[in-house]
């Protein structure tokens, strides 16, 4: 049977991606056969669950094809220490890796499902995927050891960022991987300053970190002290050959109130944009999401969802979840009529938002004319609505700063300043927050 298993592995190597085979299937070995059950090895609980969830059916089919009779497979954890395990109400103990010290992690926990295997690669993100995988598999210092992923919310930049961390921790668990948002980094630094622990904070990131995954770098706009500290931290990490993966919704040059040093550090990274997925990629995403949920969705319904839900991956997931939920609650199958009833509500709420629509809503909310909004007036009653309109244009459209500025007869630097000012005032001025919230709600619900 061991010979059969080696043949099965050779077949599987041709049917799955190289990274999937190398990470999950290649380490598996044949253990024994008892009646019609074939036992295969797995090194830990995480790998066992991964194999069961994603490869068990494929492996079982291949084995049955080779032996010519029905059989079942079971994965068995081997070489698990009898002691030093942490037990809970789970049915299996957590494996403690032998000879590996506990890694001092920080920041947010990595999502187990944010891996390279779960990422659907298309023409919109193939370079970002390749660059991220190269970062994850690189073991030694390299001249290009910083990567900046640029994408709107919901297009997969956080998925790729965390996939790098998950891959490194799986292959080299001794490496110190820190995953943190820019906002949390800033808050941690402020806490360190207030509690006289700045040296400890610096030491943790500059000498205690091998891989830094920094999400949503654009949130550092206007935070001067944090930007200075981060720039010095990046210098230290880069000079030490450490790897850094950033993510942002816009290019460094478009981030308002970013100091020149940090902007230069970000701009020197490998910059990889992630665009919205095309139709074929959306279909593949839906196939993978449906399979992960154990849903059967006909090709007609899948293609319909892919043609209607074009904004981002989160919208695709929302549509699939809505269809599955309605089918479950009504006790019916997922057909075209059900899908159309669900999707029409989502699409109705996603009417195209333009700068002109935002201008009209702002004029109506603040009772100013379009002529005043676009004028050179410096009256506060005109300046504030104008700045809010610029802020909303940046938030709800894909327009670059140059286009936004031009739409209000302003330079892009003025638009940058206006957006940064509104973002700051939203945290301090409850009245302004409510006004912006009202307009934002109308935009999000299509009430315009």
State whether 237 and 340 are in the same domain: no
- What is the reported pLDDT for 375? 92
| DSSP-derived secondary structure for 371-402 | HHHTS----HHHHHHHHHHHHHHHHHS---HH
In a domain, 303, yes or no: yes
Q: Give dist(CA 358, CA 415) in Å, integer.
A: 15
Comparing 67-81, 89-103, 203-217, 400-414, which segment has the lowest mean pLDDT?
A: 89-103
- What is the reported pLDDT for 348? 55
Is 148:246 a contact under the CB 8 Å cutoff? Answer: yes
Max mean pLDDT range (26-40, 232-246, 362-376):
362-376
Sign of the CA dihedral with 102 first, then 103, 108, and 112 last: negative
- Quote the number of domains for the chain: 4
- What is the reported pLDDT for 396? 81
Strand partners, 34: 37
- What is the reported pLDDT for 322? 84
In a domain, 87, yes or no: no
Is 301:339 a contact under the CB 8 Å cutoff? Answer: yes
Check which CATH number belongs to the domain holding 367 and give it: 1.10.1750.10
User: Crossing angle of helices 313-330/336-348, nearest 10°?
Assistant: 130
What value does the mean pLDDT take over residues 213-217? 87
> Is residue 421's pLDDT more than 80?
yes
Enumerate long-range contacts of 408-413, CB under 8 Å, 24 or more apart: 408/373, 408/374, 409/374, 409/375, 409/376
pLDDT tens for 20-44 read 777 788 888 888 888 778 888 887 7
- What is the reported pLDDT for 99? 42
- What is the reported pLDDT for 238? 84
In a domain, 98, yes or no: no
> Is residue 46's pLDDT more than 70?
no
Strands 146-150, 72-77: parallel, antiparallel or unpaired by DSSP?
unpaired
What value does the mean pLDDT take over residues 247-262? 84
Confidence band of 172 (pLDDT split at 50, 70, 90): confident
- The residue segments making up the domain with residue 291 are 279-348
Confidence band of 88 (pLDDT split at 50, 70, 90): very low
State whether 298 and 360 are in the same domain: no
pTM (predicted TM-score): 0.57
Percent over 90 (pLDDT), the chain:
10
Is 439:388 a contact under the CB 8 Å cutoff? Answer: yes
- What is the reported pLDDT for 193? 84
**Mean per-residue pLDDT of the chain:** 81
DSSP state for residue 24 in the 8-state scheme: I
Kindly give, in sequence order, each residue whose CB lies less than 8 Å from that of residue 165, ignoring residues fewer than 6 positions away.
110, 177, 179, 211, 213
Is 244:210 a contact under the CB 8 Å cutoff? Answer: no
> Is residue 224's pLDDT more than 80?
yes
Strands 211-215, 243-248: parallel, antiparallel or unpaired by DSSP?
parallel
Q: Give dist(CA 292, CA 290) in Å, integer.
A: 5
In a domain, 234, yes or no: yes
**Higher-scoring residue by pLDDT: 331, 119:** 119
Give the containing element (helix H, strand E) for 42.
Answer: strand 37-42
Domain boundary among 77, 92, 114: 77
Confidence band of 392 (pLDDT split at 50, 70, 90): very high
> Is residue 91's pLDDT more than 60?
no
- Between vectors from CA 118 to CA 112 and to CA 119, what angle results, nearest 5°? 120
- What is the reported pLDDT for 90? 36
**Higher-scoring residue by pLDDT: 304, 95:** 304
Sign of the CA dihedral with 293 first, then 297, 303, and 306 last: negative
State whether 269 and 137 are in the same domain: yes
Check which CATH number belongs to the domain holding 185 and give it: 3.40.50.300
**Higher-scoring residue by pLDDT: 103, 421:** 421
Confidence band of 334 (pLDDT split at 50, 70, 90): confident
Strand partners, 243: 211
Q: Give dist(CA 125, CA 156) in Å, integer.
A: 9
State whether 319 and 362 are in the same domain: no
In a domain, 140, yes or no: yes
- What is the reported pLDDT for 173? 82
State whether 137 and 247 are in the same domain: yes
């Amino acid at each position: 049977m061991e010979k059969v298993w080696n043949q099965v592995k050779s077949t599987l190597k041709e049917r799955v991606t190289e990274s999937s085979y190398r990470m999950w299937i290649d380490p598996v070995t044949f253990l024994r056969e008892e009646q019609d059950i074939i036992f295969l090895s797995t090194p830990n609980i995480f790998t066992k669950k991964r194999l069961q969830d994603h490869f068990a059916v494929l492996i079982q089919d291949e084995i049955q094809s080779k032996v010519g009779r029905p059989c079942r497979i079971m994965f068995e954890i081997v070489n698990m220490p009898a002691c030093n395990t942490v037990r809970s109400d789970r049915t299996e103990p957590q494996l403690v890796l032998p000879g590996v010290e506990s890694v001092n992690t920080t920041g947010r926990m990595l999502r187990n499902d944010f891996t390279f295997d779960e990422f659907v690669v298309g023409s919109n993100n193939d370079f970002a995927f390749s660059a991220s995988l190269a970062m994850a598999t690189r073991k030694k210092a390299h001249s290009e050891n910083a990567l900046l992923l640029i994408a709107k919310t919901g297009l997969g930049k956080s998925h790729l960022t965390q996939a790098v961390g998950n891959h490194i921790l799986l292959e080299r668990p001794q490496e110190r991987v820190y995953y943190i948002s820019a906002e949390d980094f800033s808050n941690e630094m402020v806490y360190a300053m207030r509690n006289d622990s700045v040296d400890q904070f610096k030491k943790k990131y500059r000498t205690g970190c091998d891989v830094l995954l920094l999400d949503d770098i654009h949130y550092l706009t206007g935070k001067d002290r944090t930007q200075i500290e981060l720039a010095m931290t990046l210098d230290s990490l880069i000079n030490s050959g450490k790897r850094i993966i950033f993510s942002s919704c816009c290019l460094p040059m478009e981030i308002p109130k970013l100091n020149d040093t940090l902007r230069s550090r970000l701009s020197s990274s490998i910059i990889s944009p992630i665009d919205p997925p095309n139709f074929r990629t959306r279909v593949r995403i839906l196939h993978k999401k449906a399979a992960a949920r154990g849903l059967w969705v006909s090709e007609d319904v899948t293609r319909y969802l892919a043609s209607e839900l074009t904004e981002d991956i989160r919208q695709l997931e929302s549509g699939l979840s809505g269809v599955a939920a309605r089918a479950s609650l009504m006790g019916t199958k997922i057909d075209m009529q059900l899908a159309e009833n669900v999707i029409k509500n989502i699409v109705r709420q996603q009417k195209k938002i333009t700068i002109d629509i935002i201008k009209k809503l702002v004029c109506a909310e603040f009772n100013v004319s379009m002529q005043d909004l676009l004028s050179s007036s410096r009256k506060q009653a005109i300046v504030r609505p104008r700045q809010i309109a610029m802020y909303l244009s940046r938030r709800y459209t894909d327009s670059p700063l140059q286009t936004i500025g031009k739409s209000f007869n302003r330079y892009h630097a003025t638009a940058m300043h206006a957006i940064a000012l509104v973002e700051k005032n939203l945290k301090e001025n409850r009245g302004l927050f409510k006004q912006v919230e009202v307009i934002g709600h109308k935009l999000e619900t299509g009430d315009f």
